[in-house]
Amino acid sequence: GLAGAGWLYLRREKERRRRQRRLRDLRALALGQGDFQLQDTSGTPRSRADLLGRWVLLYFGFTHCPDVCPEELEKLCRAVELLEAVPGLPPVQPLFITVDPARDDAAALGRYLRDFHPRLQGLTGTAEQVRAAAGAFRVYVSAGPPDPDGDYVVDHSVLTFLLGPDGLVRDCYGRSRTAEELAKSVRGHMESY
């Protein structure tokens, strides 16, 4: 029994140290430390300060994305649902920031996001405002050439960011992570916060 307890302690301690190293690395990159000025789907101005005090899962994407963005939003929202099912955990705010403000105005975002999660918020703004927000998180964005119908694809980084109540990026997740892995990681960050 004592050996088992010792093993569990060492395992938790190793995970805690791994999280601390990851957080140090993310802070060194200065991810998400800049402010942004955007608008939500009702036209209300929003900034980074509005996120303080809450856990946030943030994804940058666009509503005309054929497959990646919807898959990532479904995964993000599924992770939020898994976390909501755990009693005693603080709520996580799912957040989507468009990288295509030319097509994703507040109304378009509102229509698109209502199919994912009832608390999923969307933010948009001018091209300069969106570029500044993406730049603060070092999200790559590049609009492709339009086809004859004027449609185009926006190439962008596919990352989901976890922001802590202090507003700092606590972790970021690539496309290969599952909703269950996201939820487990977020829960670990909450418990060690």
Judge contact between 42 and 143, C-beta under 8 A.
Answer: no
Alpha helix segments (H runs only) across the chain: 2-29, 68-84, 106-113, 127-136, 179-192
Buried-state track 14-37, b at ≥16 Cβ within 10 A, e below 16: eeeeebeeebeebeeeebbeeebe
Beta carbons of 85 and 111 less than 8 angstroms apart: no
Please say whether the beta carbons of 137 and 55 come within 8 A: no
CA-closest candidate to residue 190, choices 92, 63, 98: 92
Q: Is 64 annotated as a binding residue?
A: no
Token reading at 27: 């802070």
Would the annotation count 69 as a binding residue?
Answer: yes
Is 156 assigned to a binding site? yes
Report the binding-site residues: 65, 69, 156
Report the binding-site residues for Cu cation: 65, 69, 156
